[in-house]
Amino acid sequence: GAGVSQSPSNKVTEKGKDVELRCDPISGHTALYWYRQSLGQGLEFLIYFQGNSAPDKSGLPSDRFSAERTGGSVSTLTIQRTQQEDSAVYLCASSSPYGASGFRTADTQYFGPGTRLTVL
Amino acid sequence: GQQVMQIPQYQHVQEGEDFTTYCNSSTTLSNIQWYKQRPGGHPVFLIQLVKSGEVKKQKRLTFQFGEAKKNSSLHITATQTTDVGTYFCAGPLWNGGSQGNLIFGKGTKLSVKP
């Protein structure tokens, strides 16, 4: 596709409910990242997928958060038993695994528009 | 652990004034990237610096990478209201094998008074 897409753009849920957020990365990008951004704050890293490697889950704030990536493309971030402090914008980004030099490097990340999650 | 720090956190300028944000890493970086996030938008890649001492310009924006590759700066000359947003720097995160990830600074939020 032309860019990273995310759905839904907005999600309002009640405390205690589960939510699923979807990310469609740029075609051909094997790296996919999830971030959380609270109002006026920086980017909080959540999880990183790179090809078929085991994901880096070091940023997930609790075991209520999980993510999967099916077929090396679309990713779903699931938040179980949502809490009010989960309210934030959830951003997805993708990148190519190789920089312009051809060597594996931390390449440019292309961000989606985000999903704004509000937990009432 | 590895850290990337940005200062200042906020900057308010009058339109036409210059603006600079600084980025400092606790470790040597192979490259550094800068992103801009407009209010209500998502981060958008601006530029990547790779070489020690590298300077790159994009119109009124000047980016520098320090000689030791541990710090960087973004300077905007004669700010305009279109420059409003949060500027993030980011460098490769190396944590024992998770290559390909970036560590972002907390950003500098720029506001411009017309």
Note the pLDDT of residue B92.
86
What pLDDT does A105 receive?
Answer: 52
pLDDT digits (tens, 9 = 90+) for B8-56: 999 999 999 999 999 999 999 989 999 999 999 999 999 999 999 999 9
Question: Is A39 at the interface with chain B, CB within 8 A?
Answer: no
DSSP notation for B53-101: T-EEEETTEEEEE-TTSSEEEEEESS--GGG-EEEEEEEEE-SSS-TTE
* Cβ–Cβ gap B100/A48 under 8 Å: yes
**pLDDT for A103:** 46
Contact B51, B68 (CB under 8 A): no
Residue A108 per-residue DSSP state: P
B111, B98 contact by CB (below 8 A): no
- Interchain pair A95, B100: CB under 8 A: yes
Among partner residues B92, B101, B106, which is closest to A42 by beta-carbon distance?
A: B106
Residue A79: what pLDDT?
Answer: 98
pLDDT tens digits along B44-98 = 999 999 999 999 999 999 999 999 999 999 999 999 999 999 999 999 886 554 4
Chain A residue at shortest CA distance from B97:
A56
Which residues pair with residue A107 across a beta bridge? none
> How many Å is the Cα radius of gyration of chain B?
14
Cα B109 from Cα B18, distance rounded (Å):
14
Q: In this structure, what are the phi and psi dihedrals at residue B31, rounded to the nearest 5 degrees?
A: -160, 165
pLDDT at site B50: 92
Chain A residues inside the 8 Å CB shell of B102: 106, 109
Return per-residue pLDDT of chain A as tens, 120 residues: 589 999 999 999 999 999 999 999 998 888 999 999 998 889 999 999 988 888 999 899 999 999 999 887 999 999 999 999 999 999 999 998 665 555 455 578 999 999 999 999
Q: How many CA atoms lie within 13 A of B27 on its CB side?
A: 14
- What is Dmax (Cα atoms) for chain A? 47
